[in-house]
Structure 1
Amino acid sequence: MSLPATDPSAHNSSRAPEPVGLYPHARRVGNLLFLSGVGPRQRGQKHVPGVELDEDGNILRYDFESQCHAVFQNVRYIVEEAGASWEDIVDVTVFLTNMRDDFHTYNRLYAQYFGTSQPCRTTVEINRLPTPIAIELKCIAWVGER
């Protein structure tokens, strides 16, 4: 079964970066909001914050901390425009391309952003992401009255 192109359960943020494929930023099912993977790119830009590429598009250097801040901001944009708040995020899956070097920084920043709400969390290392980024988040949020 396919969903109509104007499916009211699909949500796209006007502030988060455009999806790199055919998918919405989020989809609401009942009182749950399921976010697609969110990276650190900024809307209308191909450049990734904190990433330096060579002429072939390979990553030379990246500032992981700036990517984390950008990802968290993009998640906030999507969640808030869909009618939830940061504190309504109940589950976070994070994909890192370099767990050994970046996990400590991620864990520190995660504690700053999620210190009071403490959603469930899973962190996995992957070989690469579809764009030259070092982190991507997939989240579930609660939308509506509690």
Structure 2
Amino acid sequence: MSSQMKTFGFGVPWESSYGYSQATQVGDTVYVSGQLSHDRDGAFVGAGDFELQVRTTFENLDLVLRQVGAERRQIVETTVLVRNLRENFDAVARLHAEYFGEHRPASTVMGVVDLALPDQLVEIGALVRLDVRP
């Protein structure tokens, strides 16, 4: 038996120029592309402000979750990419823990030299299981 694939996008310009979706659902699994700090029009938010970027990135993750009918507790894994990891590790760890509360998904955090946008300091992807009870 095959599963249908559904995709979701915000309609921001880089979705078509890069050729990807914000999320792809196959069966009960949702693969969420790395989210970043932008507003609904695709304008970057928080240049130079790491905490604002992380908070806005999590808000965008919440928007994706709502589109697929999921909740934070259904996130089973995150991948967190951080520029200047040594400088920003404590803040990203605190904000990740704050976002998830008592829920503890698997997570990988990696320091990177650069990200897609010049002022971007963080990107967060997720794996979601819709068959997990929130």
Q: CA deviation at 1:24?
A: 0.8
2:95 match:
109
Structure 2, unmatched stretches of 5+, are none
The structure 1 segments of at least 4 consecutive aligned residues displaced by more than 4 Å after TM superposition are: none
How far apart, CA to CA, are the structure 2 residues paired with 1:145 and 1:119?
12
In our comparison, the structure showing a higher alpha carbon Rg is 1
Match of 1:140 among 119, 124, 127: 127
Change (3 A) 1:36 1:45: closer
2:30 match:
33
**% identical aligned pairs:** 28
Structure 1, unmatched stretches of 5+, are 1-6, 52-61
Q: CA deviation at 1:50?
A: 2.0
Match of 2:6 among 9, 18, 31: 9
Could you tell me whether the CA contact under 8 Å between 2:8 and 2:23 is conserved in 1?
yes
Q: Which amino acid aligns with 1:85?
A: E
Please list, as runs of the form range in 1=range in 2, the aligned pairs for 1:52-63 lying within 5 A after superposition.
62-63=48-49
Counterpart check, 1:122 vs 2:108: yes
TM-score computed with the length of structure 2 as normaliser: 0.86
Please state whether the residue corresponding to 2:41 is helix, strand or coil: coil
> Which deviates more, 18-27 or 62-71?
18-27
2:46 match:
50
Match of 1:23 among 20, 25, 42: 20
Could you tell me whether the CA contact under 8 Å between 2:5 and 2:27 is conserved in 1?
no
1:67 match:
53
TM-score computed with the length of structure 1 as normaliser: 0.79
Q: CA deviation at 1:12?
A: 2.3
- Considering fraction of residues, name the structure with more helix: 2
